[in-house]
Amino acid sequence: MPFPDLIQPELGAYRSSVQMPGDFAAFWEATIAEARAVGGPVSIVPAETTLKVVEAFDVTFPGFGGHPIKGWLVLPAVRSGRLPLVVQYVGYGGGRGFAHEQLHWAASSYAYFRMDTRGQGSGWSLGATSDPVGTTPSIPGVMTKGVLDKNEYYYRRVFTDAVRAIDMLVAQDFVDGDRIAVCGGSQGGGIALAAAGIDARIKAAMPDVPFLCDYPRAVQKASRDPYLELVRFLAQHRDKKAKVFETLDYFDGVNFARQARAAALFSVAVMDDICPPSTVYGAFHAYGGADKSIEEYEYNNHEGGQAFQERAQMVWLASRFG
């Protein structure tokens, strides 16, 4: 297939034109404060597995609105003191899956938590968390749920869940609150960027082929869903373009990147026709942290680096967290 977007050197030179709303930081500070004020119970119970060298736990914690959000917590069975933490967010349509998946972080002596994504988890990996909030008219999927109002938009709830997961985890006596990392691929990468832009406790971010970045560019260049959900919505709601992009500015990874200061390791796939590579570079160049780098996979589509990138992440994070 041909390259669907810019290639080097034009790709590396691309800068996003997304503008940050003047009340962006205040909007997110108020949103997180509201969720914390609601609170809610936390449950951490042993998961039923045959795992021996790690311990797995079925976790429920309060997210946006106090709604119960699920996740898997995996810890090395032999441990002492407080552990560095890696929180992983999941790609579009997926859920937390099974507790025995993705064991390399716990096997490397990290506390590892994989957050379920509300209302998803039936596309390619199982989920267990509902989204008990209604929506205005929308295209199937979640990209347009509540998109005409920043207070009602779906990702306001998801990004709040992401920060509330960290609230829950840093309260545990096995987590080192000075060594917190977030990661994820595609949607998970976009959520990781949002969390890093909201929560200064995060010291390292590892977004892979991140989704939810540079929306105006993405809807012009993507040739596959989920961005095309927005295109189909706008094709019907012809008079709502300005309102839609006004809302999306509050949820754009480029703007979260501008606020983030954690060390960051990005990855991008140059043949990606789901998350156009220019949108990833838009977020990367906007990223506010001084310690940032990007791994480029020239001949890969949206799968990106996969195990190659996991290996790079393990080396990179060890060099920062020890």
Question: Are the C-beta atoms of 120 and 95 separated by less than 8 Å?
Answer: yes
Per the annotation, the verdict on 186 as an active-site residue is yes
Q: Which tokens sit at 32?
A: 């997180």
Instruction: Indicate the number of domains in the chain.
Output: 1
Whether 55 is in a domain gets the answer yes
Predicted local distance difference test score (pLDDT) of residue 169: 98
Whether 1 is in a domain gets the answer no
Question: Are the C-beta atoms of 111 and 85 separated by less than 8 Å?
Answer: yes
Whether 3 is in a domain gets the answer no
> To which residue do tokens 């940032």 refer?
292
Whether 79 is in a domain gets the answer yes
212 secondary structure, DSSP code: S
Predicted local distance difference test score (pLDDT) of residue 108: 97
CA distance 298 to 319: 26
First-last CA distance in the chain: 41
Note the Cα 113 to chain centre separation in Å: 13
Task: Calculate mean pLDDT across residues 222-250.
Answer: 98
The domain spanning residue 18 has which CATH number? 3.40.50.1820
Is the pLDDT at 253 greater than 80? The verdict is yes
Per the annotation, the verdict on 272 as an active-site residue is yes
Question: Are the C-beta atoms of 125 and 94 separated by less than 8 Å?
Answer: yes
The residue segments making up the domain with residue 124 are 10-321
CA distances from 70 to 62, 200, 269, 303 (A): 9, 23, 30, 25
pLDDT digits (tens, 9 = 90+) for 168-191: 999 999 999 999 999 999 999 999
**Active-site residue among 16, 67, 116, 186?**
186
Residue 139: other Cβ atoms inside 10 A:
21
Question: Are the C-beta atoms of 194 and 201 separated by less than 8 Å?
Answer: no
**Active-site residue among 214, 272, 273, 278?**
272
Whether 94 is in a domain gets the answer yes
CA distance 77 to 109: 9
Predicted local distance difference test score (pLDDT) of residue 138: 79
Note the Cα 169 to chain centre separation in Å: 17
Per the annotation, the verdict on 278 as an active-site residue is no
Whether 317 is in a domain gets the answer yes
CA distances from 251 to 84, 153, 156 (A): 28, 9, 8
pLDDT category, 1, cuts 50, 70, 90?
Answer: low
Whether 2 is in a domain gets the answer no
Question: Are the C-beta atoms of 259 and 288 separated by less than 8 Å?
Answer: yes
Predicted local distance difference test score (pLDDT) of residue 139: 78
Task: Calculate mean pLDDT across residues 60-78.
Answer: 98
**Active-site residue among 100, 104, 285, 302?**
302
Across the chain, mean pLDDT equals 97
pLDDT digits (tens, 9 = 90+) for 75-109: 999 999 999 999 999 999 999 999 999 999 999 99
For the chain, percent of residues with pLDDT exceeding 70: 100
pLDDT category, 131, cuts 50, 70, 90?
Answer: very high
Whether 66 is in a domain gets the answer yes
pLDDT digits (tens, 9 = 90+) for 133-165: 987 777 789 999 999 999 999 999 999 999 999
